[in-house]
Chains A and B, each alone.
Chain A
Amino acid sequence: MKPHQFDVIVVGAGGAGLMAALYASRTAHTAVLSKLYPTRSHTGAAQGGVGAALGNIEEDHPDWHTYDTVKGSDYLGDQDAIEFMCSEAVPAVYELEHMGLPFSRTKDGRIAQRPFGGHTNNQTGKPVRRACYAADRTGHMILQTLYQQCLKNRVNFFDEFHVVDLILSNGAAAGVVALQLSTGELHTFHAKSVIFATGGHGRIWEITSNAYAYTGDGVAITLRRGIPAEDMEFFQFHPTGIYKLGILITEGVRGEGGVLINQDGERFMTRYAPNVKDLASRDVISRAMYLEMREGRGINNQRYLLLDVRPETVNKYAALDGRKFPDGSPYRVTAEEILGKLPDIIDFCRTYLGVDPIAQPMPVQPTAHYAMGGIPTNKFGEVVVDESNTVLPGLYAAGEVACVSVHGANRLGTNSLLDLIVFGKFAGLRAAEYANQATFQPLPADATDFIRTQFDALLNNTGTEKATDIGNDMKSVMMDHVSVFRTESGMQEALEKVRELKERLKHVQVGDRGKIFNTDLLNTWELGNLLDLAEVTTVSALARQESRGAHAREDFSKRDDANWMKHTLAWLGESGVELRYKPVVKTQYEPKERVY
């Protein structure tokens, strides 16, 4: 089959991919390849808001946002990139509004903003209203708006084309290989620039907020092509997933005044974060919840706690905290206001739990949510492949798949949507600029061979292993040993198990041998991606002998800036994982003890 040819190929059609496509397509011949219809992308599940210091409701500044993000990252984020993101946040949010995004509004007609964990007034230390929101479906509105604008601007889409390999040639990007789901045919896409925007890999864990599609394809593909993965030991567990299901309950619930309650009816976060309490950052709250459950204060001694947003509870604690509206009057909410601000959350609870959050508290547990680590890039989205940040010409990454790093060891809520729009935009601009002065690299004669070999290995073995069993074993061992709290022995056990599962995958039985929509084959291939990423995550985590952000070790419980204020780079080879390190970029923020 003749290769397709474009200046710029964008892989993935969530927020970052569509933003990149909008910008790249202004000056370069651009196509978006996505394994899902674009509007199915996981950006659409983001709820609470996008962070930007607009100051629409109270005083705020981009440099406060920068400081909060640096602190939230537990000083592992690169401060130059964080400054860049937080200052670009303000024009980027206005730009979304100009594209028609239906933000909720304030009384004076401006974009509405709500408090979120870790975002503060730097002078008082109190929560600041920085999260720009559209009810509790901000991600949905960003995804829809960007897709609509791409249609308006006639961006080329190849929907349900699953990218399965990256083509490098002469040390530069040359294109990708994609499987067309409807035919099972492999297509070669020849390009000058390739932008990976494929999202995260939370499907490694048993309890996760992530979509089935979140299988780490981008990082797995680039690892196989010799590109390292950065800071993979840092994976965020969001405090409030629906018990057992993992479905996300936005932090916006706590922004509106909801509180976490233990078996004794106690609002326990006052003991762990006396200043901002339930609005501490996510790693802090998830650890507090694990400790409460470990000490027998889970509800009925089960592995969950309660999130209470009943108006009477919100008003009681708001009065105790002395919380005020911007005009100085005491903060109070009604059931109707909660319903108006959190309609989807209420719908989820009614559907899956039969619980009405207006009348009953919600059972919640920490849920695997977000990859801080990923493909290493600089702040222009260019992929950098070693300790000295050498750029791989023509290759870009943006969004959750990338590690800029702006989130460091722990991401603040609302900074993921911000990451998508800011770095999606700059990756798109840079990729088009590069494509307009570069020439096409020659394609190898055997561009599809590498992936054919992988598929053939899955299809042609005579084993009887079930991919579902292998996947469940991976999720279970990673949940037990490589989640909120970690120890040397537990992680060793997980690593051995993951390596055993990789062996078992070689004997997997794929039940579907057909061509058309063979999702059985693709899901099995995705499981191989998850296993590779589970291995890299565990090896990176074992090596890091400190606790920082989302990486909390019981055997090394303190942060160790002298030895570990550095980024992990992990290469995956035949003989296992090789680790090297690169320094964190520091501008003006000296590491301090992190207290909320």
Chain B
Amino acid sequence: MQVKLKVFRYNPETDKKPHYETYTVDAQPTDRVLDVLEYIKGYMDGTLSFRRSCAHGVCGSDAMRINGRNRLACKVLVKELGSRITVEPILGLRVIKDMIVDMEPFFDHYRSVMPYFVNDEPVPGRERLQSIEERERFDDTTKCILCAACTTSCPSFWVNQQYVGPAAIVNAHRFIFDSRDRGGAERLRILNDQFGVYRCHTIFNCTLACPRDIQVTQAIGEVKKAIATGKLD
């Protein structure tokens, strides 16, 4: 099938401002959008720039706005979109070149919520024990690949980029609800901030955007509840 791919273009070395270019490509319906972008880069315009690595939705490199929705380019097929496809960088982060945005503010927010296991008690000679139910409690938020699709789909983040954003809260949730972790109170204190969880107005864009099907809004709600009640349940 013939696909018209309209692509956001910006090269800071040659362009005063961004523009769009349209490429007409022969594609298979089962091609990933990433395959089409690779074809354009390989045969039509080597300057087209985007990040990618695993090409099957687990590394989180290629989050983009595809027909207005945040998707991973490697996890959406042409047949799902039809013959007219628009590809743009994710919103709320500075565009460096074409689809490549500055990820540092995103990772700064991530790093701010203590996204690591805290437990200074002496370790047993074997594994710590955890029941199947305790492990299940935070299973959903362990799936996050830090692609930024959620955070950059959030209107609250678009309005104010100091908001820590859904991805950071998801990664805090992953530890707050881990029965082995001891840093929960400190993380809740961090998120109980003017730029913390209360910026979330349950718009659900994040949940719709997540390529890993994480129930992001629900996770944020659970963190809000834990802050309000002081209890983890």
B-binding residues in A (CB < 8 A): 36-37, 39-42, 44-45, 54, 93-94, 97-100, 102-111, 134-135, 137, 140-141, 144-145, 148-149, 151-152, 182, 211-213, 245, 247, 344, 347-348, 351-352, 466-468, 509-512, 514-517, 519-520
Contacts and interface: CB of A to CB of B under 8 A. Distances in A.
B217 to A, nearest CB: 20
Contacts of A514: 11, 13-14, 47
A212 B55 contact: yes
B117 interface: yes
B61 interface: yes
A103 B127 contact: yes
Contacts of A103: 127, 135
Contact of B77 (A93, A151, A352): A352
B180 interface: yes
Interface stretch (B1-9, B18-26, B142-150, B193-201): B142-150
Interface residues of B, number: 62
A37 B42 contact: no
Contacts, number: 156
B229 interface: no
A111 B127 contact: yes
A144 B77 CA distance: 27
Interface in B41-97: 41-43, 45-47, 49-61, 75, 77, 96-97
A39 B56 contact: no
Given A100-B119, A107-B132, A109-B131, A466 B53 contact: no
B228 interface: no
Given A94-B127, A109-B129, A344-B58, A516 B96 contact: yes
30 contacts: A39-B59, A39-B60, A40-B51, A45-B59, A54-B126, A93-B127, A94-B126, A100-B178, A100-B180, A102-B135, A105-B132, A107-B132, A108-B129, A109-B131, A140-B143, A141-B142, A148-B117, A149-B116, A151-B111, A212-B53, A212-B55, A348-B56, A352-B32, A352-B56, A511-B46, A514-B47, A515-B13, A516-B12, A516-B97, A520-B49
B103 interface: yes
Interface majority SS on B: helix, strand, loop or mixed?
loop
Contact of B54 (A42, A102, A152, A466): A42
Interface string B113-149: 0111111000101111111101100110011011000
Of B58, B60, B114, which is in contact with the most chain A CB atoms at under 10 Å from its CB? B58
Contacts of A110: 126-127, 129
Given A40-B53, A40-B61, A134 B119 contact: no
Contacts of A466: 42-43
B76 to A, nearest CB: 8
Of A105, A137, A149, A152, which is in contact with the most chain B CB atoms at under 10 Å from its CB? A105
B57 A351 contact: yes
Contacts of A42: 53-54, 59
Contacts of B115: 148, 151
Contacts of B100: 517
A247 B56 contact: yes
Contact of B142 (A102, A111, A151, A515): A102
Given A97-B127, A348-B57, 6 more contacts: A40-B51, A99-B117, A102-B178, A106-B132, A110-B127, A351-B75
Contacts of A99: 117
Given A109-B130, A134-B142, A351-B75, A45 B96 contact: no
A546 to B, nearest CB: 35
B5 to A, nearest CB: 17
A352 B30 contact: yes
Nearest to B76: A351
Contacts of B116: 100, 148-149, 151-152
A54 B134 CA distance: 21
B181 interface: yes
Contact of A149 (B11, B117, B135, B181): B117
Nearest to B142: A102
Contacts of B123: 94, 98
A42 B52 CA distance: 12
B131 A468 contact: no
Nearest to B106: A37
B96 A468 contact: no
Given A148-B115, A517-B96, A37 B54 contact: no
Nearest to B131: A109
A39 B146 contact: yes
Given A97-B128, A212-B52, A213-B53, A512 B117 contact: no
Given A42-B53, A44-B145, A102-B135, A510 B117 contact: no
Contacts of A104: 135
A247 B47 CA distance: 27
A212 to B, nearest CB: 5
B69 to A, nearest CB: 15
